[in-house]
Structures are given as C-alpha cells and as structure tokens.
Structure 1
C-alpha cells in the first residue's frame, strides 16, 4: 500500500471512529427525551436544559456522522445509472463527486460559517433561556468540525478512487 492509500486508510479509520462514537447520541437522545416526558407529565417538572440537550445531541449526531456515512457509501444518491455501472465507472463517478461536489461544498460551508462561529465564540454565546445550556458557541463550532471532517473524507474518497482507477488501468 502506498503512502496516499495509507493516508486514506488513516482518514477512514479516524472518521469511522468518530462516526461510531457519535452514533451513540441516538440512544442518549431517546433516553433524555423519555426522561423529559416522564418529568413533565408524571412529576410536572420541566427542564429547558434537557430539552436543549436533545437539540444539541441531534445536531452533533448528524454533523459528526456525515463523514462516516460518506465512507460507508450510505448517502442518498440517484442510482439509475450508478447501480449498473462497472466498478471503474463507479470509481470515476465517486472521484469526481468528491472532487467537484463534496469538497467545494465543505469549503463553502467552512467559509460561510467562519464569521458565524467566530462571532459566537467572541461573546461566548449561550442559550436565550436562563436555565438553558450556556454553550451555544460550542454547538456552532460543530459546523466547522463537520466541514473539516467531511473534507478529509472527500480527500480520502479522491485518493481511494484514484487508486482504484490506476489499478484497473494497470491490470
């Protein structure tokens, strides 16, 4: 395995570990939501912080599992032509998709959200509710982490599919 393929494998392992870890937030969301309902309707106790925690977990869940979803090739795609394509054509489509769609999208997301996140950090933005989570700036930072992580996975996809194309030309 050459150095570029090793780099792709390292990125894949990194994103898979983050994705697998973040996926546990789905269970946490269910448990916290159950607790919110029980506290509210059985004991008459409301918790803004717990309700906001569900929103935070939901955001982190989707943002931090996106790269692993791309790695597993589980994103929605129109498979009209792709499903019947040869492996070499699939590799080319994936390479072009990562290079001309995913990577530019991530760069745009990072560029557009940089001021948004920076402003939030500069004032240590918190919840509008006094009993809410006072870490909105941390949640907004996940946008940049999402863009970075998905960019890395796009780079891995480019390297992996370029390797497939080169191997198919040689062999």
Structure 2
C-alpha cells in the first residue's frame, strides 16, 4: 500500500512537471510573436487577441509553470536546501532528515499556504475575476488557483518523501524511479 502510494504521487508530480515544462517553450514563442507583431508589423493584435492579452498569457503560463513544477522539483531534489550536513550524511541520517523535515516543516507550510490562499481564491472564483484590463485574459481566478495546486502537489510530494524515508528506516527497499542516483 505505501509503495503504491509513493509511486503514484511520484508519477503524478513527474507527469505534471514534464507537462508544465512545455509552458517555457510556449512563453518564448508567444513573446517572439508578440514582439514581431508589435515592432515589425506594428500590429496591436494577433489572431484577434490584443497584445496585452498575449502578454498576460505569458504571465499566466509563467505562474502555472512555477506553481505546477514545485512538486516535480522536490521529487527531483531540485529545491535549495542547507546542504552543510545533509550532503555528507549517511543514508539513515538523510532519511531521518527527510522524514522529520517533510512532516514537521514542509507539510505545515503547505497547509498554511493553502489555508491562507483559500479565501482569496474562493472569492476570485465567486466573482469569476478577470483581468483589470478590458482586453486582458478574463480568467484570473484560474491563475490564483495555481497557488492551491502548488500547495497540494508539494504536500503530496512531502507525503511521498516521508513514506520513502520511513520505509527505508524500517528496512524496506524503496525504488526511486524519478531520482538521479548521483544526487541521492
């Protein structure tokens, strides 16, 4: 059961992270097209949408990329950590650090982020909040929802990390399919 749960969470965050990574290409292409349309062709619209709409699209994609990739980054050990002790620690000490860090620090922070963002996101959905600009994207409530997504994905990855650490501490084998063995 625990093995299936951490595998599911890891696969979920890996898939979402790989999906949102494509937002980087989309942002670059949109920015290129926007600059081309505005400064080469002197057009204020592209495909029937204003240049402001396209600029907001870049902001939306960037926000979704950062928020959607938080769990993926944690899965792949990409977050910044104070590595003074962890780097040279034994696997057992690393497992204790991951277990305690995930349960005592990361999960409460994820809960706090979710709890504090919820009223703002709920109000945004209730009002179907859109751009402050008339020609902007009318889906600001979706952008704000990515904060909740980030907190949930990061919390799930904290559960996965804690489960894997606990299993290793109990002597079970844990298969890390999504992690580079050189960084573990």
**Does TM-score exceed 0.5, indicating one fold?**
yes
1:39 is matched with 37
The equivalent position to 2:102 in structure 1, one of 98, 105, 130, is 98
Match of residue 53 from structure 2: 49
Alignment partner, residue 128 of structure 1: 132
Structure 1 residues without counterparts, runs of 5 or longer: none
The worse-fitting range, judged by mean Cα deviation, of 159-168 and 81-90 is 159-168
The within-5 A match list for 1:91-170 is 91-167=95-171
TM-score in terms of structure 2 length:
0.88
Partner in structure 1 of residue 80 of structure 2 = 76
Cα drift, residue 106 of structure 1:
0.6
TM-score computed with the length of structure 1 as normaliser: 0.94
Q: CA RMSD in A?
A: 1.0
Task: Give the aligned partner of residue 21 of structure 1.
Answer: 19
Deviation at 1:144, TM superposition (A): 0.9
Alignment gaps of 5+ in structure 2:
45-50, 173-184
Please list the CA deviations of residues 27-71 of structure 1 after superposition, one character each: whole Å capped at 9, or x if unmatched: 111111111111111112230000000000000000001101101
**Residues 95-128 of structure 1 deviation map (CA, whole Å, 9 limit, x = unaligned):** 1111112111110011001100011011100001
**Partner Cα distance (1:29, 1:164) in 2:** 41
Residues 70-110 of structure 1 deviation map (CA, whole Å, 9 limit, x = unaligned) = 01111111211111101111111111111112111110011
Paired position in structure 2 for 1:11: 9
Corresponding position of 2:177: none
Give, in whole Å, the separation in 1 of the partners of 2:35 and 2:99. 46
Normalized per residue, the structure richer in helix is: 1
Q: Structure 1: which 4+ aligned runs deviate by more than 6 Å? A: none
- What CA distance in whole angstroms lies between the structure 2 residues aligned with 1:33 and 1:92? 45
Quote how far apart the aligned CAs of 1:145 are: 1.2
Matched, 1:87 2:85: no
Number of paired residues?
166
